Structure 1
Amino acid sequence: MRHHSHTRFRPIAALPRHERGSALMEAAFALPVLILLLIGIVIYGSWFMTAHSLQQAANDAARASVAGLDAAERRALVDQSIAASRAAFPAPAAQTIAIGTDESGGYYTVTLSYDLANAPVFAATPIPMPASTLRRSAVVRIGTQ
């Protein structure tokens, strides 16, 4: 019986290196994580842009309401301002933005609500959103009569 010690007990450093598939294995582990991270950045970036646009629309409507002499005129100015803001709204179904107004104690509040289910990018995402409805408000002081 012949003993082949040179093939049986090789040091680890002497083993042949098979590096052809290592890049593929690294990509298989890293790519899903990177893709999920990229999707999260896009989704949350869109969410923040939508929230900012809604806040800007509320701010503009509240400022426009200051020119109104009574509650009906203020509401008409708010509706007119929101109609103009809808054209530049970054998410679809801007016509579904709900408008609420309140006048009390010398302050006028404009509250806008947008249901994220109206935007396919938010409705179909596997990433949880902070809220299903965006609500933004703006308050201005109106002159007492």
Structure 2
Amino acid sequence: MVSSPRRHFPQGIRGRVSLPECVNAFLINLRLHYDYLLYGSLSRRMATMSNIQSKLSIIRHKLWKLQEESGTSAVEFALLSPLFILLLLGMVAYGIYFGAANSIQQIAADAARTAIAGLNQSERQTLVASFVTNNASGYPFVDASKLTYQANDSTADGSQFVVSIQYDARNLPIWNLFPGLAMPGTTIKRQSTIRIGGI
């Protein structure tokens, strides 16, 4: 750092100086202040530039590390994304299949409950047919045109009525996955049994 200039005054007899000496002393002090302002400002500028360069070096180092980490992340994503996408699509496809299977079971149960009002097997079959025709399309993941059903009195116990439903599930998206994966059957079969005439 440049120290503050000391003022220069000529020493005369009894503190008196002539006019030329005063002018000369003024010019010398002016030059000292000019040098101080020039070199002091320059040193401050150099210190500021050094500080800026240090900070830029730190920023460049951080950016380099960030680019390196970004490249590593991109490679990892490229390697793992196919497996992740396959897993995600498999979860969605199997979820739709299980949802359809649950809907088929619910249709069979609701149709069996509807058949209670029938007085004989023929009336119960008519009630089941009407229920399936009018309501099956309202269940999730179910295409009513692909449903088949049987509604009969139980051969093992005449006091029970059995509703069996089969659903062709080949239109579900689960079959579009890789063929090497384990797949359920293409036909979903569910049945529901209800007692005739109460307990």
What TM-score do the two structures reach when normalised by structure 2?
0.59
Deviation at 1:19, TM superposition (A): 4.1
Instruction: Give me the CA root mean square deviation.
Output: 2.1
Aligned length: 128
Alignment map for 1:26-65 (pairs within 5 Å): 26-65=76-115
User: Which residue matches 1:8?
Assistant: none
Deviation at 1:124, TM superposition (A): 2.5
Alignment map for 1:73-84 (pairs within 5 Å): 73-84=123-134
Bigger relative CO (Cα 8 Å, ≥ 6 apart):
1
Which structure would you say has the larger Rg? 2
Q: For 2:138, what is the secondary structure of its paired residue?
A: coil
**Structure 2 unpaired stretches of 5+:** 1-63
Instruction: After superposition, give the CA deviation of every residue in 1:90-133 in whole Å (9 maximum; x if it has no partner).
Output: 3353212011122122111101101111x242342335432111
2:140 maps to 1:140:
no
User: Which residue matches 2:119?
Assistant: 69
- Asked if the contact 1:116–1:122 (Cα under 8 Å) also holds between the matched residues in 2, the reply is no
User: Which residue matches 1:25?
Assistant: 75
The structure with the largest strand share of the pair is: 1
Percentage of identical aligned residues: 34
CA distance in 2, matches of 1:121, 1:89: 17
Q: Which moved more, 1:91-100 or 1:17-26?
A: 17-26
2:166 to 91, 113, 116: 113
Runs of 4+ in 1 over 6 A off after TM superposition: none
**Structure 1 unpaired stretches of 5+:** 1-15
Alignment map for 1:74-113 (pairs within 5 Å): 74-91=124-141, 93-104=143-154, 105=157, 106-113=159-166
What TM-score do the two structures reach when normalised by structure 1?
0.78
The structure with the largest helix share of the pair is: 2
